[in-house]
Each structure stands twice: as structure tokens, then as C-alpha cells.
């Protein structure tokens, strides 16, 4: 890159860095949508029936077309007790419009709790709020015309950018009684307030947005909003079923608190027992920070429902006042400080074309993130932060046709997050622009093997259309079916 080109690039890039820093929390890494469910319960046909009760219970439908707009569809799962009751319903929002992904993951819980589950196939990162509003209205009205559900128990749940969608809908539609937000919180510029819905935040300890959700939970402590925070050992991902089990239990307890359902002492005592078991395990491991988190979670779940909440309040106070807890808390705060300092360092290097610095930094983070202690979780968050940064910067450079710097950041993206399908999709775009058709196809097949399954996006990508015959879309789409 000559001096003049470098100067022009850097002027443009300073602007992109500012845009990146503004929008980073709204973006997300591409998550694999590969399915490990081997049960033969998935129907991939597009259904257009508008007759109530025409769906089989216990069967996951990937694509139910909306009658008023055939371009919109959703995944649907009706639990086994659907025929007997008018059940509550949860609408799921994946950041990449994979409506079936969370339903595959949680459909067993749908049967345990008796929840109807719907996943939007149109809501995704990059949509503006008017588009989101249109998707919601179409989705809600279509589901209401085809299935019966309890209109006093309508919930939304999302992950990453989808969590912001779930929160946005609840903020604008009073019929929503609760939100489960994984890996992100409220829409940008929205502050914690006295909401008419309960809010459950979920984050992995290695999630780059974990500290934001912790901060939001602390802010909600100053409001009348009923809220819960669930942290787990994991990264930026849809939470494991055992964690979602806790969140759905919270929906049941919140419904009791709000008198939407009859108070059930057996269910309440079951939660008390499970909370005590988790608390005992944390204490046995001498993880007093996690034990205190468990106390706060149980207090938020049980408050106003049972006197058993007092035992968790007393234990919480004893933890906070103990010397051991204070030492662990100080160490945690120290790590948070290091984390912020590292992010500031990275932001400076985003503006420098120093491949060796990033290669060494990423390699170090990948090694340190494997350590099963608090430091390891911090390095996981930093690695996820870089993955998100490289995604966001690469995306903006590609969209502005700055191919040379885009190639640099896509290369970094692949190094930092080699199993992320979006990194390879970006690489395919740039190779197509360079007329490297065979390499483009290989990148697309790599993306598919890592979970990419958006055939429409691929076929509509301008860079790929001119090489459609040589890329052989039919072959790539057949590979997509194998990974589902």
C-alpha cells in the first residue's frame, strides 16, 4: 500500500472505527446452526394452512409461511399438552433469522413446561426497527390465526441482536409479559426503567457482553421491574438447555407473582431445592462470587412468593461480609480493569496495519482462554470482543468496497474465530471480487460446514451471481441440507 493510498485509507478508517465503537454492542458473531438432534421430528416443508389445530403436536415445523406475506415465515413447535390446554407462547429471535435453531435446542423444555414455541425466520441483525415492527406484526397475527394460545402469557426470547429485538417488542407491545435476553440487553439508547414486563438476562462467563448485562441488572435493581440474571460457564451463544430451564422456571414464578396462574407451592419448593443444590456446589468449590450470584438469583425468583427467600437473603449478607468473598470480589474487579485496559489497547491497534501484533495477540488469547479459572473467562471475553470487532470492521469495509483493507481484517477474523461461518462467507465475497472462483467456492463450502445455511442470501449476493454456474449453487445448497 503506497503512502497516498494508505493516507486515504486511514482517513476513511478513522470514521469506520468510530462507527464500530458506536454499534459494537448491536452486532454479533455468526453462530453455527448445525443441529445435533437426531430425532426424525423435523418437517422442512413450507406450510400455508390457516386452520386452527391443523399442526401435529410434538413435531417441529421449520417453515410456516405467513398468509399475509409469503416472504415471511416461522418455525413452530407445539408441546404434547397443546390439545388439552390453552398454553403460554414464547417467540424466539435468532440474530441470523434461524427460527428453528432455538426450537431444536429447547423443544424438550417446551414439553416439560407446556410452552408453545415460535421462531422467526426473518428477524436478524441489520434490520431497522420499522422492519422489526413489521416482522412482529405479521408473525403475531399469523400465529394468532392458526393456533390457540394464552393471550395473557405471551413472552419473547432472543439471543445477541435477537435479545435486543425481544426487548424492543416488549417495550412497544404491552401484551408481552416477560423477556428472556441472552448475550445482550435492551436496545441501544434505552435505559433501565419501570417496565411492565419481567426481564431475565442470560450470559456466558466468556461472553463479551457479560459485563454489560451485569451492569444492566444492577441498574434494574433501582427500579420496580421484576428481573433476574443467570450466568453460566460458556461463551457468546444460545444458553444450554439446563440454563434455559432456570429461565423458564422464572417465567412460571413470575406468572405466579403476577397472579396470571395459581400459586403452586410444589413448584416453588422445587426451585428452592435446586437453588440450594447449586449454592452448595458453589460453596464446596469455594467460589463465593458464584454463590453470591446464586443467592441474588434465588432472591429475585422467590421474592413475594415464599418465606424461603429469607434464607437466601441471609446467606447473601453473610457472603458479602466475609473476608474470603471480599478478596475474590477485589480480584474480579481487578480483572475487569485489565479487560477494559486491553480493549483500549486493541482500539488503538485497529488503526494500525500490524499483522504480527494481531497474530501474537490472538494466539496468546486463544491459549490463555483455555484456562479454567476467572482469568480464562476474561480472555474468552476479549477473544470474543476481537471476533466481533473484526466482523464489524470487515462488514463495513466490504460494504464500502474497500477490498484491500477488508482482506486484512477478514484474515484477522478467520484467525481469531476460525469456526465462525461468517468469516468464511466474507472471505468468499472478497475472492469473488478478485475473480478467484474456485477459492470462492471452497470458502462457501467451508462456511456451510460451519453452519451457514442462508441459501437466499448466497444466491442474491451480487458477487456470486455472475459466477452462479461455476459455483454450482445446487451443490452448495445440498451441502447445507446435510448440516441441518
Per-residue pLDDT tens digits for 308-330: 999 999 999 999 999 999 999 99
> Which pLDDT belongs to residue 126?
86
Q: Which residue has the higher pLDDT, 31 or 66?
A: 66
**pTM to 2 decimals?**
0.86
3-state secondary structure of 355: helix
Helices in 50-128 by DSSP H: which ranges? 100-113
DSSP string, 408-462: HHHHHHHHH-TT-HHHHHHHHHHHHHTT-HHHHHHHHHHHHHTT---HHHHHH-H
Per-residue pLDDT tens digits for 228-278: 999 999 999 999 999 999 999 999 999 999 999 999 999 999 999 999 999
Judging by beta carbons within 10 Å of its beta carbon (0-12, 13-18, 19+), is residue 153 exposed, middle or buried? buried
CA 469 to chain centre: 35
The lowest-confidence range among 8-22, 95-109, 186-200 is: 8-22
Which of 86, 92, 146, 144 shows the shortest CA–CA distance to 122? 92
For residues 459, 461, 462 and 467, what is the CA-based torsion angle, rounded to 10 degrees?
A: -50
> Which pLDDT belongs to residue 37?
40
Q: What is the mean pLDDT of residues 334-349?
A: 93
Q: What is the spatial distance between Cα 11 and Cα 294, in angstroms, rounded to a whole number?
A: 48
Q: What is the spatial distance between Cα 290 and Cα 278, in angstroms, rounded to a whole number?
A: 9
Q: What is the spatial distance between Cα 363 and Cα 366, in angstroms, rounded to a whole number?
A: 5
> Which pLDDT belongs to residue 484?
62
- pLDDT of 183 higher than 70: yes
Domains and CATH numbers, the chain: 3-23+337-483 (1.25.40), 33-262 (3.40.50.1820)
Q: What is the mean pLDDT of residues 380-390?
A: 94
3-state secondary structure of 28: coil
Amino acid at each position: 500500500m503506497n503512502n497516498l493510498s494508505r493516507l486515504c485509507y486511514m482517513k476513511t478508517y478513522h470514521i469506520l472505527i468510530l462507527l464500530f465503537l458506536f454499534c459494537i454492542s448491536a452486532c454479533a458473531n455468526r453462530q453455527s446452526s448445525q443441529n445435533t438432534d437426531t430425532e426424525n421430528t423435523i418437517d422442512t416443508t413450507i406450510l400455508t394452512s390457516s386452520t386452527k389445530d391443523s399442526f401435529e403436536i410434538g413435531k417441529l415445523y421449520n417453515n410456516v409461511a405467513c398468509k399475509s406475506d409469503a416472504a415471511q415465515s416461522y418455525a413452530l413447535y407445539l408441546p404434547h399438552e397443546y390439545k388439552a390446554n390453552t398454553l403460554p407462547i414464547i417467540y424466539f429471535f435468532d440474530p441470523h433469522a434461524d427460527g428453528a435453531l432455538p426450537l431444536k435446542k429447547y423443544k424438550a423444555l417446551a414439553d416439560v413446561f407446556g410452552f408453545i414455541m415460535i421462531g422467526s425466520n426473518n428477524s436478524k441483525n441489520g434490520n431497522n426497527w420499522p422492519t422489526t415492527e413489521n416482522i412482529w406484526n405479521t408473525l403475531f397475527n399469523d400465529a394468532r390465526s392458526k393456533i390457540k394460545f394464552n393471550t395473557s402469557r405471551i413472552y419473547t426470547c432472543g439471543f445477541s441482536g435477537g435479545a435486543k429485538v425481544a426487548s424492543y417488542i416488549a417495550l412497544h407491545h404491552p401484551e408481552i409479559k416477560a423477556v428472556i435476553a441472552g448475550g445482550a440487553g435492551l436496545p441501544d439508547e434505552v435505559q433501565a426503567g419501570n417496565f411492565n414486563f419481567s426481564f431475565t438476562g442470560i450470559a456466558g462467563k466468556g461472553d463479551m457482553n457479560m459485563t454489560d448485562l451485569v451492569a444492566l441488572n444492577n441498574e434494574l435493581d433501582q427500579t420496580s421491574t421484576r428481573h433476574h440474571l443467570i450466568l453460566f460457564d460458556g461463551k457468546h451463544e444460545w444458553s444450554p438447555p439446563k440454563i434455559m430451564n432456570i429461565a423458564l422456571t422464572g417465567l412460571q414464578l413470575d406468572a405466579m407473582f403476577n397472579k396470571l396462574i395459581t400459586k403452586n407451592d410444589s413448584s416453588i419448593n422445587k426451585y428452592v431445592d435446586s437453588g440450594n443444590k447449586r449454592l452448595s456446589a458453589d460453596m464446596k468449590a469455594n467460589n463465593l462470587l458464584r454463590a453470591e450470584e446464586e443467592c441474588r438469583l434465588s432472591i429475585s425468583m422467590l421474592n413475594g412468593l415464599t418465606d424461603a427467600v429469607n434464607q437466601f437473603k441471609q446467606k447473601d449478607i453473610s457472603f458479602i461480609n466475609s473476608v474470603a468473598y471480599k478478596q475474590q470480589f477485589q480480584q474480579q474487579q481487578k480483572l475487569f480493569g485489565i479487560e477494559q485496559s486491553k480493549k483500549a489497547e486493541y482500539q488503538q491497534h485497529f488503526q494500525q496495519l500490524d499483522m504480527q501484533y494481531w497474530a501474537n495477540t490472538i494466539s496468546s488469547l486463544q491459549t490463555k482462554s483455555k484456562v479454567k479459572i476467572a482469568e480464562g473467562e476474561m480472555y474468552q471475553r476479549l477473544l470474543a470482543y476481537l471476533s466481533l470487532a473484526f466482523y464489524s470492521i470487515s462488514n463495513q469495509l466490504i460494504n464500502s468496497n474497500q477490498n484491500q483493507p477488508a482482506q486484512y481484517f477478514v484474515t484477522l477474523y478467520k484467525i481469531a474465530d476460525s469456526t465462525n461461518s461468517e468469516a468464511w462467507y466474507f472471505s468468499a465475497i472478497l475472492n469473488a471480487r478478485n475473480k478467484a472462483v474456485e477459492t470462492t467456492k471452497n470458502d462457501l463450502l467451508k462456511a456451510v460446514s460451519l453452519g451457514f445455511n442462508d441459501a437466499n442470501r448466497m444466491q442474491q449476493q451480487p458477487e456470486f451471481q455472475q459466477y452462479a454456474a461455476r459455483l454450482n449453487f445446487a451443490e452448495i445448497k445440498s451441502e447445507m441440507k446435510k448440516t441441518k
